[in-house]
Structure 1
């Protein structure tokens, strides 16, 4: 997996972004699996991380266009950095 771009939220145990996975563009998310209620003592070891990838394909873009009211959203690989960008028409 080659990271392309992402966003980390300070104070939160999650990150999202785009990456190329097996040569295909994908939306990526990662989050720590930890209790959220603040009453459980956490171990000193790093938390387990759940990573999810959703390939960006024709079905996904059709669904995004329909759900978000876009006419023709498209994802294209970046020119020099390998970043994936979204464009609407």
Structure 2
């Protein structure tokens, strides 16, 4: 389990911690943002551009558009470097 600092502003709340759990046996990563009560299972086979769009759509349901876009870019970067 890795904890990354997002430091992304959503409305009047600072989103700080993003949790990443890599499951090498099942070839996926679980990403969770407890402050937003949001999580997503990401397959190793996901393409970067498609993944960014999917994350942005999902995060936009629980966060402002700007915060969702910024968070999705950071998550894609973190997941692809693992």
TM-score (norm: length of structure 1)? 0.32
More helix by share: 2
- Which structure has the highest strand share of the two? 1
TM-score by length of 2: 0.33
* Structure having the higher Rg: 1
